[in-house]
Amino acid sequence: MKNERKDFIVIGAALFALFFGAGNLIFPPALGLLSGENWLLCMFGFLLTGVGLPILGVITLSKAGGSINDLADKVHPVFAKVIGTITVLAIGPLLAIPRTGATVYEIGVQPLFGDIHPLIVSVIYFSITLFFVIKPSGIIDKIGKILTPILLAVISTIIIKGVFFPISTPIVTGIANPFSKGFLDGYQTMDALGSIVLGGIVLVSLKEKGYLGKKEQLRMTKKAGLLAGACLTFVYGGLLYLGATVSGVFEVGISKSELIIAITDNILGSMGQIGMCVAVSAACLTTSIGLTAVVGNYFEDLTKGKLSYKSIVIGTSVFSTIISVIGVEQIVKFSVPLLVLVYPVAILLIVLNLFDDYIKSNNVYKGAVFGAIIVSTFDALAAMNINIEFANSLIARLPFASSGFAWIVPAVVCGIGMGLIPERDGMKKASRLRTSPLTNILK
């Protein structure tokens, strides 16, 4: 029998835990430290990409049909496969999953156990991940009922005590463009990318609970998304404020891992490190479990079963075990060019699909993505220190370029321009009727 209240709370709690992983824990305090008295503006920017876009992504995916192909097919089926593969690799074994393991070592284990070799921790951590995902039935319930309460209890304790008994007070740091800094650093959570694949987990879980109609699935997804968004806003805002309170205590050059350890130690004393170990392990494990399952399902579906779910999740776990040893800071640096390239496309796909009922031509999707990806490609090259002076000079003159949003105007102009070009007969209808297979993570 369906119990809507219980079901949306469990799914919303699980969704929060899936999003609240390594990046979500280490980035807000660092942003607070950098922004000081301007922490509120920085927080608003961060919340847009760290909360707003992910929740919209999950809702949009539910509305569109359940998979990333339903969002990207309107550009082109080949493009959908390419962007899907890049996105899943980015939030999977290349970046996000290894970063969870590295964060557990640097924040959750090393402060307590000293110089234990990171590979040992990584092997244990990803073995636990594999245990949860090798037989994926009930992942949402396991995360929502077991791991999320532990995570929220520890983080809430740190935040509440830190707010009522702050270490110090925010100072003027001279940060330029605090809003855009927060917005762009929200990319590093990778949650907007994750939302356009993790949304499939929510839909499958809803079907298992008996919600078979599209309208009731969308209604439940919205409720769960709002709950997850409220929890994320509380945690992000709290952690960012805690970072701001120590802007006059710690140097900006302190590593993100060292900063969160120092803040927790100051707030909770001798119990701080133990509490942080529990919080980090729970936060990162939930994300690692969800993302590893997504990778396995996506590539099993993409290869039409030639690669089995089991072999993919095992390979992902082994690869992530090796990559995580290089450390959080190096993984973050490596991720910047890829995120700069892909994030504008993800944002466009979420926003355009959200208003799909009002878009009469798929050419709008094609033009908008084309305009954005031209700019983001050069931005990604610049992030890799490959500078093409002529292109960079033109991009620098675009509106919002100084804030990191040079892609917006080209996307709008190209989207409108392409939208004026008539589509070939039948193309729009065919795209509207096409549905991709629902993700099968919990089958």
Name the DSSP letter for residue 91.
I
Among 336, 351, 384, the domain-final residue is 336
Q: Are residues 121 and 240 in the same domain?
A: yes
The answer to whether 63 touches 287, Cβ cutoff 8 Å, is: no
Q: Where are the alpha helices (DSSP H) in 303-360?
A: 309-323, 328-354
Q: Is residue 342 part of a domain?
A: no
Q: Give the containing element (helix H, strand E) for 327.
A: none
Q: Are residues 255 and 141 in the same domain?
A: yes
Among 304, 336, 368, the domain-final residue is 336
Q: Are residues 327 and 387 in the same domain?
A: no
Rg (CA), the chain: 21
22: pLDDT strictly greater than 80? no
Q: Is residue 64 part of a domain?
A: yes
- Return the closest-CA partner of residue 376 out of 348, 416, 334: 348
Average pLDDT over residues 268-285: 76
Position 69 scores a pLDDT of 82
Q: Is residue 351 part of a domain?
A: no
Q: Where are the alpha helices (DSSP H) in 65-177?
A: 68-72, 77-89, 96-103, 110-113, 118-133, 139-142, 148-164
Average pLDDT over residues 378-407: 89
Q: Is residue 353 part of a domain?
A: no
Q: Is residue 57 part of a domain?
A: yes
225: pLDDT strictly greater than 50? yes
Q: Are residues 306 and 387 in the same domain?
A: no
Position 438 scores a pLDDT of 36
Work out the burial of residue 212: count CB atoms within 10 Å of its CB; fewer than 13 is exposed, 13-18 middle, 19 or more buried. exposed
Q: Are residues 318 and 258 in the same domain?
A: yes
Write the pLDDT tens digit of every residue in 64-115: 877 788 889 899 999 999 998 998 998 889 888 998 899 889 888 888 887 8
Position 427 scores a pLDDT of 52
3-state secondary structure of 36: strand
Q: Are residues 117 and 155 in the same domain?
A: yes
The residues near 214 (Cβ < 8 Å, ≥ 6 apart) are none
Q: Is residue 219 part of a domain?
A: yes
SS (H, E, C) 287-319: HHHHHHHHHHHHHHHHCCCCCCHHHHHHHHHHH
The structural domain count of the chain equals 2
Write the pLDDT tens digit of every residue in 332-354: 888 888 888 998 999 999 999 98
Separation CA 87–CA 75 (nearest Å) = 16
Q: Are residues 330 and 414 in the same domain?
A: no
Q: Is residue 349 part of a domain?
A: no
Q: Are residues 393 and 276 in the same domain?
A: no
Position 439 scores a pLDDT of 39
Q: Are residues 158 and 234 in the same domain?
A: yes
pTM here is 0.81
Q: Are residues 179 and 280 in the same domain?
A: yes
- Return the closest-CA partner of residue 261 out of 332, 158, 376, 182: 158
Among 57-61, 208-212, 271-275, the minimum mean pLDDT is found in: 271-275
Among 275, 302, 336, the domain-final residue is 336
Separation CA 23–CA 429 (nearest Å) = 40
Question: How would residue 422 be classed by pLDDT, with cut points 50, 70 and 90?
Answer: confident
Write the pLDDT tens digit of every residue in 355-374: 988 898 999 999 999 999 99
Residue reference for tokens 């999740």: 313
Residue reference for tokens 């090796």: 322
Q: Are residues 275 and 422 in the same domain?
A: no
Q: What Cα–Cα distance (Å) separates residue 73 from each residue in 67, 149, 310, 361, 427?
A: 10, 38, 27, 13, 12
Separation CA 375–CA 394 (nearest Å) = 10
Write the pLDDT tens digit of every residue in 119-178: 999 999 999 999 888 875 555 555 556 666 777 787 888 899 999 999 999 999 988 889
Task: Give me the CATH number covering residue 131.
Answer: 1.20.1740.10
Domain limits at 194? 4-336
The residues near 443 (Cβ < 8 Å, ≥ 6 apart) are 136, 137, 204
Position 242 scores a pLDDT of 95
More confident: 245 or 107: 245
Q: Is residue 354 part of a domain?
A: no
Position 428 scores a pLDDT of 52
Write the pLDDT tens digit of every residue in 136-149: 555 555 555 666 67
Q: Are residues 227 and 364 in the same domain?
A: no
